[in-house]
Amino acid sequence: MQPYELTLAAAADAVHARRLSPVELVDSVLDRIEKVEPHLGAYVTLTAEQARRAAREAEHEVAHGRCRGPLHGIPMGLKDLIDVAGMATTASSRVRADHRATADSTVAARLSAAGAILLGKTHTHEFAFGLTTPQTRNAWDHGKVAGGSSGGSAVAVASGTATFALGTDTGGSIRVPAALNGVVGLKPTYGLVPRHGVTSLSWSLDHVGPITRTVQDATLVLTALAGHDPRDPASLSVPAMHYQPGAGTDLTGLRIGLPRTYYFDNVHPHVESAVRHAIGQLEALGAHLVEVDIPMTRYIQATQWGLMVPEAGAYHENTLRTVPELYQEDVRILLEAAELMSAGDYIRAQRARTLMRAEWARILEDVDVIAAPSVPMTAAGADQETVTWPDGTIEAVSDAYVRLNAPANITGLPALTVPVGHDPAGMPIGMQLLGPPLGEPTLLRIGHAYEQTQPTRELATVA
Residues annotated as part of the active site: 79, 149, 173
Interacting residues of 195 by C-beta distance below 8 A, sequence separation 6+ = 105, 106, 206, 207, 208, 232, 234, 235
Neighbours of 394 (CB within 10 A): 9
How many residues make up the chain in this entry? Answer: 463
| Residue of 433, 296, 431, 437 whose CA lies nearest to 365 | 437
Report DSSP state, residue 391: T
Q: Which residues pair with 122 in a beta bridge?
A: 43, 79
Measured CA to CA, the distance from residue 57 to residue 48 in angstroms comes to 14
Interacting residues of 173 by C-beta distance below 8 A, sequence separation 6+ = 124, 125, 128, 131, 148, 149, 150, 167
Backbone angles phi, psi at 307, to 5 degrees: -90, -45
| Residue of 82, 76, 91 whose CA lies nearest to 161 | 76
Number of H-type helices and E-type strands within the chain: 15, 13
Interacting residues of 401 by C-beta distance below 8 A, sequence separation 6+ = 131, 147, 172, 176, 375, 376
